[in-house]
Amino acid sequence: MNKKVLIKNGCVLTLDKKLGNFKQADILIEGSKIIAIQPEINLSDCEIIDASNMIIMPGLIDTHRHTWESLVRNVGSDWSLETYLGNMYFGNIGSKLRPEDAYIANLIGTLEAIDAGVTTIVDYSLIESPNHADELIRGLQDSGIRGVFAYGVPGSGGFWDHNSLDKHPEDARRVKKQYFSSNNQLITMGLAIRGPEFSAWETTEHDIQMARELDCIASMHIGIGIWGKDAKFIEKLSQAGLLGPDLNFVHANYLSENEYKLVAESGASISATPEIEMMMGHGDPATTQFIKNGGRPALGVDVVTSTGGDMFAQIKFALQATRAKMNLEMHSKGKMPGKLGLSALDVLEFATIDGARALGLENKTGTLTPGKEADLIMIRTTDLNMFPINDPIGAVVSANTSNVDSVFIGGKPVKRNGKMLNIDLEDLRKRANSSRDYIFSQNGVPTGAWPL
């Protein structure tokens, strides 16, 4: 029998345009699904949770994170993109992980995400062997997160050559059959392909077709810095008949106006990671140009080597970077902005329903809608940085990870009363430190990393 949970008296931001938001409402969950949302639900045969001082909203959706890098988090706070790639790939740190390191990396990375209010993540993986793939998946599964395991390529140099003819690893077919034969589960599958900027064109064509054979999204980095400037790869994908809603383009900082239109018209998605893009030298976040050309971007954290795994920060970066660019365009015309060109609600949608659409999960998550999975977070309004609440949407955009009181994924509580459930932090620390020490003991230690 499915357990019923009744969450009462919360301020509910459903982000469902038909249903609307509620100053105060109750949410009934049965099993993994939302059954009802309305101002008052009276039931006694269920667990009742008082949410009187909470804002309840859909869980945040991170559409691009290299989760394995959680083991070497914060080593790259001063790294450019070229420095990051040189230290993490091409036979360096990324290739040094053992399968057991891959497991603990994905486990602590996804637990960090859950603790911060993320209920869905794209794990853009790096895979050295089939055993690594198995352990990365196990790490995701053991965390309890909803996610897309984007099967990636090894960290060796040949796989990142723009002339490389090496096709995506065939082991992806085994993984699909063994772990992801059904899409009706918390973790589903994608392919993290190199795309035309990091492989030969023939390889890109093969890898996209492989993803379609496996019924997976294909995610790729594209339009990055001087490598992607004026490359017109989106136009080439369109001319080849390859564009479609199952393609996810990460960063996409340097596309032409026509290319942004082509992406939007095809239903393909763009995952912007604004903090890292502005820091490392990718270029301006694509949010402004994609919106202007009919698109709705999704958001991601990208690399925790250089920032925290905090989607609230990405919401703020996306909002203000986009506004800044729009405001400067007004200045160039001799005008001051009146109404700002992007709203707080817009960017909350980027981090929820637009992220779900990018992953083909909009029928499961992204809004609080009866019939969808109960992926939700509860944000305390009694914290010093939150009260008095005058605009709940503005309050959420101003919030931070410390305000996340509770997290439910598929109706299951994974964080309650500000504490993660059913994890042994001391054991996690020991295992993570041991793996970190092993990786740094190998020959891929970047200058200035701690410990030396």
* Domain positions in the chain: 4-58+374-420, 60-358
Q: What type of residue is 133?
A: A
How many beta carbons lie within 10 A of that of residue 390, not counting itself?
Answer: 7
What does the pLDDT read at residue 55? 98
Give the largest Cα separation in the chain, rounded.
65
**How far apart, in whole angstroms, are the C-alpha atoms of residue 436 and residue 426?**
15
What does the pLDDT read at residue 157? 63
What does the pLDDT read at residue 226? 82
* Fold adopted by 60-358: TIM Barrel (3.20.20)
What does the pLDDT read at residue 348? 98
Output DSSP code: residue 373: B
* Fold adopted by 4-58+374-420: Urease, subunit C; domain 1 (2.30.40)
Please say whether the beta carbons of 57 and 123 come within 8 A. Answer: no
**How far apart, in whole angstroms, are the C-alpha atoms of residue 387 and residue 398?**
11
**How far apart, in whole angstroms, are the C-alpha atoms of residue 112 and residue 133?**
20
Mean pLDDT by 10 residues, the chain (452 residues): 91 98 98 97 93 98 97 91 87 88 98 98 96 98 98 77 82 97 94 94 96 97 87 95 98 96 98 96 94 97 94 96 92 91 96 98 98 98 97 97 98 97 96 92 60 46
What does the pLDDT read at residue 444? 54
